[in-house]
Amino acid sequence: MKVIQIGLGPLGRKIARYISERSGIEMAGAADINPEFIGQDVGEICGTGPLGVTVKSTIMEAIESCDADCAILTTVSSLQIITPQILEVVGHGLPVVSTSEELLHPWKTEPELASRIDAAAKASNAGVLGTGINPGFLMDSLPLFLTAVCQRVDSVKVSRLQDASFRREPFQRKIGAGLALGEFEALVAEKKIRHVGLAESIHLIADSLGWELDQVEDIISPVIAESPVESNLIQVPAGGVAGVQQIGKGLVGNEEKITLVFRASIGETDPGDTIEIEGDPNIKSTIDQGVNGDIGTCAMTINAVKQVIRARPGLQTIADIPLVTHFS
């Protein structure tokens, strides 16, 4: 399988490195707006050594420079911003796998944009998918898969607690690590600090289980350092913001059917990913220490390429396509 990598930020570069290590997929083209990258070999940028692929300045140039089977799009989280990029790619008949969190399940949050993407993808006979580690796996598709052994499901709760000390710098900044409390609250009010994708994961779970939600809540609060903590990049004094806690809730009437607890902070003492399903039978599953978010997002994105190429045309969710697995 030959892919075009669009966007060479930290995730895009890691994805390019991972692709170079596999035999079943290869990099055919690449694009980025960073003037320092344009014209360079993508392998030199990503630290793999030359790959024979030159970074182009536009999506169009990258598509025209090679013969590809799919595009991997790692540019922005915002569906409004990324929609024109998706439309340009599928307009050339190429399927898209993207790490845009808002693309996971936009039918309830951005129905007009979802319909535009779906119609364009169907017209071009191409599949489109938003995925990653979260959203895309840990807080939606994995708990959904666990419900397969349930006769009845009453509620779903997922708790993802992460030590952000060794995550990439944009992630540490995104969770507000190192800020004073007032700075954190101001950025939360501007929607500049939040984990994007909880609402989309809630809607994916609800739709898959046949629950009609009456309300979706999103509650954001700071994680305050009780003593000084530090990452490889940021020092946080006692009383400073070490990270963020965000709780998403999906309610039917007054009943809390879906609860997603996301907490990422520098120095998190008990990291792990836990899924709790109340029903028949009850299920509790924990991944000790949790899954590394950067590795998991890149691997999930690459592994989904094979299934998106085979998927029916249109905007898909991770619950619509065949089971994604690793391939070498």
| pLDDT (tens digit per residue) in 233-258 | 899 999 999 999 999 999 999 999 99
Q: Name 261's Cβ contacts closer than 8 Å, sequence gap at least 6.
A: 157, 158, 159, 160, 161, 245, 246, 247
Beta strand residue intervals within 164-228, DSSP E: 215-224
- Out of 3.30.360, 1.10.287, 3.30.70, 1.20.1260, select the CATH number for domain 141-290: 3.30.360
Tell me whether domains 2-133+295-316 and 141-290 share a fold: no
Q: Name 128's Cβ contacts closer than 8 Å, sequence gap at least 6.
A: 86, 90, 95, 96, 98, 103, 117, 118, 121, 308, 314, 315, 316
Domain ranges in the chain? 2-133+295-316, 141-290
Beta strand residue intervals within the chain, DSSP E: 2-6, 26-31, 55-56, 70-73, 96-98, 127-130, 152-163, 215-224, 229-230, 235-236, 241-252, 255-265, 272-280, 283-288, 314-316
Lowest mean pLDDT among 21-25, 171-175, 187-191: 171-175
For the stretch 311-324, pLDDT in tens is 999 999 999 999 99
Extract the tokens encoding 79. Answer: 């569906």
Closest to 140 (Cα-Cα) out of 200, 79, 100: 200
pLDDT at 15: 97
Per-residue pLDDT averaged across 170-180, rounded?
A: 89
- Report residue 173's pLDDT band, with 50, 70 and 90 as the boundaries: confident
Gap between the Cα atoms of 272 and 288, Å rounded: 5
pLDDT at 269: 87
CATH superfamily assigned to domain 2-133+295-316: NAD(P)-binding Rossmann-like Domain (3.40.50.720)
Q: Do the beta carbons of residue 202 and residue 260 sit within 8 Å?
A: yes
pLDDT at 251: 98
The percentage of residues in the chain with a pLDDT greater than 70, rounded to a whole number, is: 100
CB atoms within 10 A of CB 39: 10
Stated as kind and residue range, the H or E segment containing 17 is helix 10-20
Gap between the Cα atoms of 193 and 33, Å rounded: 24
Q: What is the mean pLDDT of the chain?
A: 96
Helix axes 79-90, 111-123, angle to 10 degrees: 10
Highest mean pLDDT among 79-83, 188-192, 264-268: 79-83
Stated as kind and residue range, the H or E segment containing 189 is helix 181-189
For the stretch 85-142, pLDDT in tens is 999 999 999 999 999 999 999 999 999 999 999 999 999 999 999 999 999 999 999 9
The percentage of residues in the chain with a pLDDT greater than 90, rounded to a whole number, is: 92
Gap between the Cα atoms of 188 and 220, Å rounded: 8
